[in-house]
Structure 1
Amino acid sequence: MLKRMLIIYNPVAGQRKFHKLMPVAEQVLEEAGFDVTLIPTTEQAKSATKIAKQGVLDGFEFIIAAGGDGTVNEVVNGLMQAPTQPIFGVLPVGTTNDFARALGMAKDPVEALHIIAAGATIKVDVGQANDQYFINNAAGGKITEITYAVKESMKNKIGRLAYLVSGITLLPKLAPKQVRITHDKGVFEGEILLLFGALTNSVGGMEKLCPPAVLNDGYMDLLILKKVSPIKLLKLLASIKNGSHLQSEDVVYVKTKHVEIECDASLNISYDGVYGGETPYILEVLPEKLAILADATRIEHRLQK
């Protein structure tokens, strides 16, 4: 019996990378015993979420997101809204591919296809942000707007440089926000520049923002950057390369299962780089909620023993 697989692909992601890959994808997966159906996303809001949810109802045993982190997030939300969750997979053909990077997927899409075709799975945590879901991180603060403010056309023209260009334009606009953040180990009150509730180590293409993050330990890594001067901010960003930022007195870092975020003014929240609205927000971890196609030997250090 062939195993039914639905691939939901973003036709414009990563400079339309999947179009070139499509014949190879079908061949590799069909030779591995999968009956493959391909459906593109559309310009309609959250189209991948709707396709994924319907895919579950139609009985697909495997549902793959082929695109960047935005496509992955939409598909995850569709799966989590369905009554049951099939086996999930990620084919990284986007610009940053944060979650695929954390999952240990090969950067070469053809090699990643072979990992998917092998059929091995691991279970990973899923985050819930109010009534939405995330698989990589939830974030708040002006600088995090980069992830959802960059236009698809700009990413297709200059790739990851689009985020750098947008980041430079946002730096002068950075303003601290007065917040109250409640987590499992206490309460933080004060002015912050940004916060992350990370389920993985990879955020914004930086693999050392939360080095201790584990994919299936039932915790998110909460990182809060307090109000600092522009010079201190640049020094902290530079220290991410060796992970020493977590020891800074200007950074709060804890592992937690539950976070409540309140702000006197509006604080934008995003999850997996998708705009999610404004505070108040409650973040929670759903332990080992999804089975995902992956090669565990590539990420043993990111899995709970």
Structure 2
Amino acid sequence: MKHLILVGACYLDTILTVPHFPAEDSKLRATALHVRRGGNCPNSLEVLAQLVLSGAGGPQIKLHLVSCLPDAGAAATRKILSSFGGGDGNDVSGNGGGADIVDCSHCLYRAGHEAPASSYIIRSGATGSRTIVNFSDLPEVTADEFEGIADVFAAAAAAAEQHGDDGGWWHFEGRIPETTLRCIRYLRRVTPGCTISVEVEKPNREGLVELAAEADVVFYSRSWAEPRAHNCGSLSQGRSGVIQEGGAGALALPGGEYIHHAAAPSGDGIAVVDTIGAGDTFIAAMLYGLHADAWSLEARLEFGVTLATKKVQREGFAGLVP
């Protein structure tokens, strides 16, 4: 059994769809309201959970989330935990089956905190733009806390070494580069056989270049990649670089090879309904494909683009994978 551990923030998203973006100090009636669990890594895990359940012609993977959550007894925590396993994130009963699909036992529960990290998203019907305001007073994962979690996985990998356990695949959301860099370097010491990927998204966030240099696979946003290279190959820095380009995808290999998969033409009946989480879906599909040893590089990239295209045509993630 392969292990895939995703490390990143977990949010509850409040999504308001409005006819147009409101002017300052104005009043506007929303046309739709959705509240669901969000966050880059949790969104990717919801998609991965569906892929693992379906088989999808790929490998069997044990999924893990490392994230800070409110108090273990908080209603928001129950809602978050119930959201994994192919649901829409609205089940607060705790019966969503997420514990069987996504292992959240390594999450850090902040005692006394009832409110989750929250995102408030205004989605404009006129332009398709989305404006996001985040708030969280949850203490972030510290490097010391992470090292304790890494030690647990390292011990399990050492015990299972005779079965070919390589320490798993660790994927990081590049949110707090200084802390994340320390976490990655610690993993290299205690589980030298592990694979590490990072998401490099925010163009102006300092420290992401150093993170990319430490990873085996880097997922670049288009907004990061375009100002920094004339082609994808120069971004890979001797590693595999993956770029999502607004519906298209590109893969740059350590040897300088470059593979591109175009987005579906707009005339192919593609109706964009919800772009929130499209990039997370692409990353999930690529992570799944990269674990499928029998798949070609072209097949992995096509899988990622196809699934992300399917996602933008529906609200949320429910039923994304048959």
| Pairwise same-fold verdict (TM > 0.5) | no
Greater RCO structure (CA 8 Å; 6+ sep): 1
TM-score (norm 2): 0.28
Task: Point out the structure with the larger strand share.
Answer: 1
TM-score (norm 1): 0.29
